[in-house]
Amino acid sequence: MTHIEDPALIESPDRPVVPMNDLSRAISRDRVALSGALANVLDSGHVVMGPNHDAFQQELGAYLNLDHVLGVASGTDALELAIKAVMPKGRNVVVTAANAGGYTSTAALRAGFVVRYADVDSDSLCLSATSVQSSLTADVGVLVVTHLYGNLTDITTLVEMCHASGIRVVEDCAQAIGARRNGRVAGSFGDIAATSFYPTKNLGAIGDGGAVLTNNQKHADTVKQLRQYGWSSKYQAELPGGMNSRLDELQAAFLRSRIPQLDGLNGRRRAIIARYTEASAGGPLQVMPAVGEHHVGHLAVARSSRRTELRAALVRQGVQTDIHFPYPDYKQPGFRPVSQSLPVTELASSEIFSLPCFPELTEGEVDRVCNAIGTLI
């Protein structure tokens, strides 16, 4: 995660900084379990595709109630593999949002497909049936829906609409692992899903990692082959587009030890955002709500047309902030975009910013952020 380089944020004993994140706290909380996991891997002698990898796939599958969880090396790899596995023959366009950090663009371009951007809904900042409708032409094979900020967006209509046109739906659950709507988890609505275990994610590793999720046996078999060189069996490269993307034993063992905590930690994130929502009532900040089990509070996102000024005021009070995400994908040369302008995406990218939100924030720190929000006029 990035940090604001601002001299006003230099910590002093009388004014400690409330950070955007501090991974050392979760590591120290989980130290005994993580050390046990490390010892278990060292003792086993297996380093990739061993017993911890298999057990993790099973345990996360059981937690999510999904048939197939396939460990891979990162969330971006998971997106690439998922898109490749479901792209219908004869189509080559991926439609997605331009406000979700560019991970889908990276993955789809690496897979050799064309990316087209649709605007997002002005409340959820996620794709909706209305916002994508005009983009779903006959060459579109895949729609990637990101459950942004932890919000399992209601994609039932989107999925119906796509399936009626032979378009497959990939859910990006990297920010929404554990989110549920009417008993169904994020990742179970589309054809396939991708997630990330980047250390700051709600279920984070101590390094990189990711997974592809699906209930579809055929898609799972394709991903299994593609994540290991396209092999059907050892050294037999059957499928084109294979890569080496494996979740190593250490990360799998660390992640196994953290699954049981996930629901509790997601609840803590929601509680922090609820405090910020309360503190911002009547003031110049609108904090996006994170209420109910469909939202796992990955980020506490606020909006204001006076973003620069308000962020500076928060920084002066020792509160770090960040922007997720500042540049629409179609404005980034690295994604070889065609020129376009999406009004909801653009307005949001000029107004949004994130407040500190991770489960290990102390109550004192949450109070400090709330007090700082309360001084904004």
Footprint on this chain of ligand PLP (rule: CB under 6 A): 74-76, 100-101, 103, 146, 172, 174-175, 196, 198, 208, 210
Q: In whole angstroms, what is the distance from residue 132 CA to residue 153 CA?
A: 14
Dihedral of CA atoms 369, 371, 375, 377 in degrees, nearest 10, equals: 60
Smallest gap from Cβ 101 to ligand PLP, in A, equals: 5
Identity of the residue, 110 or 316, whose beta carbon is nearer to ligand PLP in the bound complex: 110
Q: Which residue is nearest to ligand PLP (CB)?
A: 75
Dihedral of CA atoms 309, 311, 317, 320 in degrees, nearest 10, equals: -160
Smallest gap from Cβ 205 to ligand PLP, in A, equals: 9
Smallest gap from Cβ 198 to ligand PLP, in A, equals: 4
Identity of the residue, 71 or 75, whose beta carbon is nearer to ligand PLP in the bound complex: 75
Smallest gap from Cβ 157 to ligand PLP, in A, equals: 21
Smallest gap from Cβ 1 to ligand PLP, in A, equals: 9
Q: What angle do CA 32, 35, 41 make, to 5 degrees?
A: 140
Identity of the residue, 196 or 320, whose beta carbon is nearer to ligand PLP in the bound complex: 196
Identity of the residue, 153 or 280, whose beta carbon is nearer to ligand PLP in the bound complex: 153
Amino acid at 129: A
**Cβ count near 367 (within 10 Å):** 13
Identity of the residue, 101 or 297, whose beta carbon is nearer to ligand PLP in the bound complex: 101
Please list, in sequence order, all residues whose beta carbon lies within 8 angstroms of the beta carbon of residue 217, skipping any fewer than 6 positions away: 67, 68
Tokens of 312: 């500076």
Q: At what angle do helices 249-258 and 31-44 cross, to 10 degrees?
A: 140
Smallest gap from Cβ 91 to ligand PLP, in A, equals: 22
Identity of the residue, 297 or 318, whose beta carbon is nearer to ligand PLP in the bound complex: 297
Tokens of 26: 């979760």
Backbone phi, psi, residue 157, to 5°: -65, -40
